Structure 1
């Protein structure tokens, strides 16, 4: 059997990623027929089918999955070798791809991002906004090196590098009826409240819905959104309440434009913020340098939430 065509494997990887030959071709800026020819030739050479068409799009067969995994592992190994060569050059060049939930953005750009770029001018950064589900998917596809995720679902395919406790709190307008509430708030006390809820593709949204179901309560939000900024402004304007980690709205809390109340449910109070990578994929030297920098400079990852220390 001849050697596997790297071009065909790269095309297969893109088609599997986009679940569409046409979208893969658009992304690669080539004619779809070029991809089709390469994949057909690969299937003929291996005498096995690699892709299947379904109502949800193109999906890989078992053989297709095996080749995609091989290609991604091969690419990761190459990046590891190049990374070690870069290390010999003193981190003068390299790149890091990061998936970041919106709730971390203010913490990331306040100082850590700038100081990393100044410290490592030869390292290029690619920062992609992604909810928890999307970020995990990008990691598993090796489309990013690191993911900053809030309240992720446990997954053996991921390596946890940093883990801090960042409770999912209730944020309310300063004049809200619960402003004088003493002690943690239960889910049942929110019945009838105008609630803004972030999309369930995010860790915050998944966690809030899961806890409500455990407490046999249905959340009926007045507003659904995929934006942390919209949630924050919903509360600041006095319309209603929302769930948010303390550090995501630290500036608003300091300014007094909103207030924070802890929730009673243990799952909400024990929510985690994590930096993850794909299990079994060697991080490049540049990625390790970025990981260590984020661990030491981002408030979300250098320690548990400030409110926990104040309530201890």
Structure 2
């Protein structure tokens, strides 16, 4: 039975993440030769290569991927254990990293995050803006603890803690012809100026799937990677877009935007989720924040 060297696993993980021994050495503040030596010894011990170099840099083999996964699971378990020890000190220390889609920001910042930070002032929260695809990548590479995502693609490497049906509705300016129709059909949308968000976002992927299912083609007058730009496109009266109602909740309540039911079953089934990397144990701080967000955010609380 092998006894794997923790330092070698750490070096392998960093080389894989950085893409080269040189970059990993700079990141770890060690000599390249030290990393090379550790990886060579690791390969000699298990009798199989852990990676190879190509034009793009260092690429782990299947064996290397298994070892990297083992290292990350061990590191996550170690972090969780240390966090639970800290919990015995009333959560006086801790850190949680979040990847968050732009559409969740107003809901996140309005009250839930503020009340959590007031209750746990010594837990540091790091929030990184990311579309669904980028958020999933950050979770799978263990660069964030949790992600708030909208309409992500199914992925067996993810664990979904909370899921809520939040349809991708049709958003129009007040007085728009479709606002008087009640429940427009998806084909009605083709007759008016439209803005769509990029496909890196769940909100952008769903309309593309509708196009394939219905054999239609949206011709957006505006494409963007910003939820704010989409919202202002509608606020200015320029045209329509697709958004979850909660993303424009304040504008709807103020009568500045009209929210119509999702004009297609696929859009009506869209979900908001809180996810983490399957097999990675959350720290106590992460578990507390997860519970706080699932109970306090409109997107995730029950009956909203």
Q: Same fold (TM over 0.5)?
A: yes
Are 2:66 and 1:62 equivalent residues in the alignment? no
Could you tell me how far apart the structure 2 residues matched to 1:54 and 1:252 are?
A: 52
Q: Contact between 1:166 and 1:304, CA under 8 Å: does it hold in 2? A: no
Question: SS at 1:302's partner residue?
Answer: coil
Could you tell me how far apart the structure 2 residues matched to 1:90 and 1:84 are?
A: 10
Residues 26 and 265 (structure 1), Cα distance of their counterparts in 2 relative to 1, 3 Å cut:
farther
Aligned partner of 1:310 in structure 2 is none
Residues 175 and 36 (structure 1), Cα distance of their counterparts in 2 relative to 1, 3 Å cut:
farther
Could you tell me how far apart the structure 1 residues matched to 2:254 and 2:30 are?
A: 52
Aligned partner of 2:221 in structure 1 is 222
Could you tell me how far apart the structure 1 residues matched to 2:124 and 2:98 are?
A: 11
Superposed, 1:152-171 pairs within 5 Å as 152-171=152-171
Residues 112 and 30 (structure 1), Cα distance of their counterparts in 2 relative to 1, 3 Å cut:
farther
Q: Contact between 1:165 and 1:304, CA under 8 Å: does it hold in 2? A: no
Superposed, 1:180-191 pairs within 5 Å as 180-183=180-183, 185-191=184-190
Deviations 1:63-111 (A, max 9, x none): 1101101110110110121122122222221111111111101110111
Deviations 1:147-175 (A, max 9, x none): 11111222333222212111101111223
Aligned partner of 1:132 in structure 2 is 132
Aligned partner of 2:72 in structure 1 is 72
Question: In the TM superposition, what is the alpha-carbon distance from 1:19 to its structure 2 partner?
Answer: 3.9
- TM-score, L = length of structure 2: 0.90
Could you tell me how far apart the structure 2 residues matched to 1:263 and 1:76 are?
A: 40
Q: Contact between 1:15 and 1:23, CA under 8 Å: does it hold in 2? A: yes
Question: SS at 1:301's partner residue?
Answer: coil
Question: In the TM superposition, what is the alpha-carbon distance from 1:145 to its structure 2 partner?
Answer: 1.5
State which drifts further: 34-43 or 105-114. Answer: 34-43
Are 2:174 and 1:174 equivalent residues in the alignment? yes
Question: SS at 1:167's partner residue?
Answer: coil
Aligned partner of 1:110 in structure 2 is 110
State which drifts further: 1-10 or 293-302. Answer: 1-10
Q: Contact between 1:167 and 1:269, CA under 8 Å: does it hold in 2? A: yes
Question: SS at 2:207's partner residue?
Answer: helix
State which drifts further: 23-32 or 188-197. Answer: 23-32
Could you tell me how far apart the structure 2 residues matched to 1:68 and 1:34 are?
A: 18
Question: In the TM superposition, what is the alpha-carbon distance from 1:55 to its structure 2 partner?
Answer: 5.5
Q: How many residues align?
A: 304
Question: SS at 2:300's partner residue?
Answer: helix
Are 2:277 and 1:278 equivalent residues in the alignment? yes
Root mean square deviation of aligned Cα:
2.4
